[in-house]
Structure 1
């Protein structure tokens, strides 16, 4: 029987506690232990339990009954956590058991069953887990890549970020953008058009700064007025440079070759002539046709750009003869440039690019989806890649415009998200596209933008002829601080070993998710959902290159997502069963016998 302290002994302990010191601390521990023993004794005296033998009484050593007795309490085992590099060879730590509670809930951990959260900006700003908000998603088609990104997009929009899908190829994000109340822009033959020479949102910021500068002058704030005018001047030059880069990029795509140095100079001078001499402005931007007409006009400045002297001091021929010779030389030099511009103006390119922009981006919308699904993808035509590149330029120009206004105190500060789906189509269009994507991945942190790249295979980044382009592609993969893998074939997993460290367990996961279901049984009837592949919605999050265990999880849809239908990317097959002659969902016994 446990001995309890008497009331006098408890009073003595109270006095020692009042005096303090080490003896007082020891006295407080003894008094607390006695309180616990008294409570236990009271519980033992009043507790009984009903058993098949009747009532049994609880004692300090357990219940008084056959096989009763003391119950030893086993304390928790000490736990330690480390990477597989520090504790190499310990199989229990082959996959990550942790999952940060930062960001949007995306699913349940496949090992622990805990909630898994993910958010690029949150992981960088709040958690400090990554250094740049760049993500690469790899998985076979049909295993939920777009569904996962739509969940991440939902979290970004809920947190106030503007999500930009600058080129939705299928489209996978249109329905969700409409559900958000966002802006959907269609591009394609018979639909919307896009002017590469439109100044965009960045150009439309310039008059805002100039008007604000006039107001500051009237208020006597000359310093701020000068700052606003300097900003407007620098933005005007940047818009002109963006236009030059856009036209040069389109020409490179269509001719599958580089633009010459003097050709870039001719384009730059022609743009200056259009705006300064021909009367074009932000509200009435020129078209590619106008650019071609200026180049054909043999303007003296353009002739000097090509290298033809307009008034040589050494000319022995008369002025009329020399003028004819100079014009012939100029026409000969710009002939390749004229051919390339004409190819952009006529045919399939001209229907989209040689018209004013139909719909401009509205950054006040919670999400923007540029639907390019009406533009067919073809290995022989770079049209879709040209449209995507133009959309990126317009989209990131609009993002910069929002930041410029915020920096000058004319708008609230904002962050953005850019989703680049079907990246393989862009990279496969022309080798010059890798430099465009590469530039975005380097600058996205400075312009406050998450970058999400989606493709099918790591081999898409190595399908280039030159070592320089392959190096740029490999650098793009390395700068993706978060890599998420879905179901992949063994050959793809082997390629990944050179990019990111995968344990044997993680490799087994990825390949097992890609396995097919059992090829037995009858198919689902109309109205019934077919069984899903075993790896649908299963993903592995990897951060860093070596040694860090991944986080495997299962994507879980919310009820609202299921009822909305935003994740149904197989809607085209909804009536396939009916077209196959399976209109009836049930058969009578006689019909079934005849059918067999």
Structure 2
């Protein structure tokens, strides 16, 4: 290869050296390669869309802004978060992952169970189910203590829990509805509501209730066991009714006489249910079977021993409580019912605390019999039971704490969630004896979960000695109890706000949200409607 020389006059073309020839060849290849690369890049650029093509204008504007801090911009409407999100990491396609976690904030509180409301600070949904708490190790039993000032939503919380659990197949029990405010819910669930009162329904303290309906459906061995359970429960209820009516516990002689009369009636009339009137007739007869068992020398001594018990029976049958507990029960309850409400509101209108207390005790016994009936038939079913105005029975007389505890001691082994509702710890502090007050505090302490609504600091000081609460938790609950302004149409600041407090765990502050369809079931101020 030769390199052309400049065409100048007289010039002579010289052949190129080997080095010059190699350099010329390389320059030619490089030029060709550069042209190829540029052509390829140009072709690719023509195939790509413009960088902003098809993007919304707000996306393009946001792309050019600085990266926000971890909590978001500190301005209104910017979606600022009060906590740093700690989202779990998932791997999957866009279609799968896009709907996996639709919430902005992490799930730091229990969401399983009945939707109670939203967390006051993080706005996370909060669920409640004492059974779910037990299964997850957040609680050691299914008993819940519910307390709060009147009008702040205590009954609403209880009904929301019962309503939601019923959707999971849980049976609902309101054994003593002193205000008649829960029967509408039970009726809506397809349950059974019974109103106790003079001229209405009455209840026999010795009636086994639903437990007696299953005797013919169980084996012979179970039948004997159930009969013994029926007798023990009947005598406990009768003893409680007599204690409330007279204001003092039965002594050993009276307790023995009551048991002997019950056993004698069962031998005389097998297969029938005695009433208190039947026992009074037997005790007036003073039969030889009772005299021998009570070690009385003669009939005169037996009559002297039985006289106090007979007086107390007549006080319950013919005194101010006449017509309520002196005959056979006028209703029955199917063990398969979705719910039961025993309405005592007709008794409270007469301001008869004694009648209400006896009726509540009897109703508690019936609800326990309903649960035991299902257990005897092998029916696997859970229940939620509301003990509203729990203090009424406890303050009816000395020894009632122990009796009521025996009747209401249902728990996780029977699949029962118990909600014990009171206005204040003072309801227990007003009990007549130090022993009863100590036992009542023990009932609260055994509740693994507490739900506290608005309370003043004086009540929180007493409650915190039983239920451990931090100063911050107390301050928040006290804030809910702060009086509102005098501006009209402003509701109580604590209405719908509650603290779910599992023992030894951080409390969960919740704000309830009621849909319009649910509000009529929770309106307890209808008497003051314009």
Over 3 Å counting, the alpha-carbon distance change for 1:44 and 1:473 in structure 2 is: farther
C-alpha distance in structure 2 between counterparts of 1:380 and 1:419, whole Å: 22
Is 1:152 matched up with 2:161?
yes
Partner SS, residue 146 of structure 2: strand
Q: Which residue of 1 aligns with 2:469?
A: 502
Partner SS, residue 192 of structure 1: coil
Shift of residue 417, structure 1, vs aligned partner:
1.3
Q: Give unpaired runs (5+ residues) of structure 1.
A: 1-40, 82-95, 210-227, 310-325, 407-411, 524-529, 576-596
C-alpha distance in structure 2 between counterparts of 1:114 and 1:365, whole Å: 35
Determine if contact 1:202/1:239 at 8 Å carries over to the other structure: yes
Q: Which residue of 2 aligns with 1:109?
A: 119
Partner SS, residue 159 of structure 2: helix
Determine if contact 1:101/1:116 at 8 Å carries over to the other structure: yes
C-alpha distance in structure 2 between counterparts of 1:43 and 1:572, whole Å: 76
Partner SS, residue 365 of structure 1: coil
CA offsets, 1:34-67, max 9 Å, x none?
xxxxxxx99997313899xx9xx99xxx99xxxx
Is 1:375 matched up with 2:330?
no
C-alpha distance in structure 1 between counterparts of 2:424 and 2:178, whole Å: 17
TM-score, length of structure 2 as denominator length? 0.79
Shift of residue 462, structure 1, vs aligned partner:
2.4
Q: Which residue of 1 aligns with 2:318?
A: 346
Determine if contact 2:254/2:308 at 8 Å carries over to the other structure: no
**1:140 paired residue among 149, 159, 162:** 149
Determine if contact 1:103/1:119 at 8 Å carries over to the other structure: yes
C-alpha distance in structure 1 between counterparts of 2:203 and 2:227, whole Å: 20
Shift of residue 435, structure 1, vs aligned partner:
1.6
Partner SS, residue 321 of structure 2: helix
C-alpha distance in structure 2 between counterparts of 1:442 and 1:368, whole Å: 19
Shift of residue 559, structure 1, vs aligned partner:
3.1
**2:509 paired residue among 549, 552, 557:** 552
Is 1:443 matched up with 2:410?
yes
Mapping of residues 475-494 of structure 1, within 5 Å = 475-494=442-461
Determine if contact 2:176/2:341 at 8 Å carries over to the other structure: yes
C-alpha distance in structure 2 between counterparts of 1:44 and 1:141, whole Å: 69
Larger radius of gyration: 2
Determine if contact 2:247/2:396 at 8 Å carries over to the other structure: no
Q: Give unpaired runs (5+ residues) of structure 2.
A: 1-44, 72-82, 88-105
Is 1:198 matched up with 2:207?
yes
**1:46 paired residue among 26, 47, 50:** 50
Shift of residue 431, structure 1, vs aligned partner:
3.3
Partner SS, residue 412 of structure 2: coil
Determine if contact 2:147/2:451 at 8 Å carries over to the other structure: yes
Determine if contact 1:280/1:286 at 8 Å carries over to the other structure: no
**1:400 paired residue among 365, 372, 376:** 372
C-alpha distance in structure 2 between counterparts of 1:74 and 1:388, whole Å: 59
CA offsets, 1:385-422, max 9 Å, x none?
1110111111101211110111xxxxx31111110111
**1:458 paired residue among 425, 436, 441:** 425
C-alpha distance in structure 2 between counterparts of 1:49 and 1:421, whole Å: 66
Shift of residue 379, structure 1, vs aligned partner:
8.1
C-alpha distance in structure 2 between counterparts of 1:106 and 1:124, whole Å: 18
Determine if contact 2:147/2:424 at 8 Å carries over to the other structure: yes
Q: Which residue of 2 aligns with 1:584?
A: none
Determine if contact 2:147/2:422 at 8 Å carries over to the other structure: yes
Determine if contact 2:119/2:509 at 8 Å carries over to the other structure: yes
Mapping of residues 85-96 of structure 1, within 5 Å = none
Over 3 Å counting, the alpha-carbon distance change for 1:113 and 1:261 in structure 2 is: same
Is 1:181 matched up with 2:190?
yes
Shift of residue 336, structure 1, vs aligned partner:
0.3
**1:536 paired residue among 495, 502, 514:** 495
C-alpha distance in structure 1 between counterparts of 2:70 and 2:256, whole Å: 78
Determine if contact 1:185/1:371 at 8 Å carries over to the other structure: yes
Over 3 Å counting, the alpha-carbon distance change for 1:452 and 1:72 in structure 2 is: closer
Count of matched residue positions in the alignment of Structure 1 and Structure 2 = 454
Q: Say which is worse superposed, 481-490 or 454-463, in terms of deviation.
A: 454-463
Partner SS, residue 531 of structure 1: coil
RMSD: 3.0
Q: Which residue of 2 aligns with 1:119?
A: 129
C-alpha distance in structure 2 between counterparts of 1:97 and 1:450, whole Å: 25
**1:571 paired residue among 505, 526, 529:** 526
